[in-house]
Structure 1
Amino acid sequence: MARRKLSHEGTLVLDSEGLSKLLSDDESAVALIAEARRRGMEVVICALTVIEAVHARTDKSRLGWVLSGLRVVAVGEEEAKAASALLMETGLHGHKYAIDAAVAVIALRQQRPVVMLTSDVDDMTKLCGDRVRLVAV
């Protein structure tokens, strides 16, 4: 039997905490991401996630290396409008949930199945419903 070539078999999305854990070389996050890649999943983050996860003590070299292995999805006018619409649909306010909404929009537009590593399971459930499998980190 011929072995099936692994191609893009879904997407793993990292939210701010997922990226932070990867930056800090958290063993469980690194293992989850390695498993996703082994399964042929693409690992993706929203560009706004970089802003949310970085702080004064972030190792810039480590950040650059980690980001080089991820697909960083830009947030433009189309994504901003979709995130605003998602906030209106869910009754959430942009002041508190703007970045979460942008991350959710990016996740919802990826090749399925989509899995998200997040520390905000409750909020992301409101924004993504059952269309994204959420894994708490």
Structure 2
Amino acid sequence: MTAPAARSLVLDAQALSLLLRNDRQMITRIEAARRTGVPVLVSALTIVEAVYGKTDTARLHWVLSRLQVQEVTPADSITAVRLLHDAGDLHGHKYAIDALVAAMALRSPPPVLVLTSDRDDWRKLCGDRMQVKDV
């Protein structure tokens, strides 16, 4: 059985980083989503996590203009705390940003597809509530 087509595409830090570096495979995935009307979402936190000193600022602004940047809300914080608790009391920086991005993804129109390099973390946090694909 195949998974239903995604209605939301969420990028984690590695996915955004690849897009910023003009990775052809990532560009193809984003363009495919755009052609089918699937919004490409990125958390404001993901931007901070993905950008480093050599990131071209003009490219960053151009890429972000083509994505839907999502704010972190107080409700996301509460949801993230619950996700961390439910996943076995995970804590610390390693999981905090992923949990907040997962909370944003969970409030996005389902089914949600997440492009990530941290597949195991997303499975711990969200189980089967969204599709997770490696970048």
Q: TM-score, normalised by structure 1?
A: 0.90
Picking from 59, 77, 81, the partner of 2:78 is 81
Matched with 1:118 is 116
Matched with 1:48 is 45
Runs of 4+ in 1 over 3 A off after TM superposition: none
Runs of 5+ in structure 1 lacking a partner? 1-8
Shift of 1:90: 0.7
Aligned residue type for 1:76: T
SS in 2 for 1:75: coil
Give the paired residue count: 129
Runs of 5+ in structure 2 lacking a partner? 1-5
SS in 2 for 1:130: coil
Contact 1:13-1:116 within 8 A present in 2 as well: yes
SS in 1 for 2:128: coil
Aligned residue type for 1:65: W
Matched with 2:18 is 21
Shift of 1:94: 3.3
Are residues 1:134 and 2:132 paired?
yes
Shift of 1:80: 1.0
SS in 2 for 1:44: strand
Contact 1:116-1:135 within 8 A present in 2 as well: yes
Distance 2:80 2:64 in 1: 23
Q: CA RMSD in A?
A: 1.1
Contact 1:84-1:94 within 8 A present in 2 as well: no
Distance 1:45 1:89 in 2: 24
Q: TM-score, normalised by structure 2?
A: 0.91
Distance 1:129 1:36 in 2: 23
SS in 2 for 1:117: strand
Distance 2:93 2:70 in 1: 22
Shift of 1:96: 2.1
Q: Deviations over 1:89-115 (max 9, x none)?
A: 112113320000011111111111210
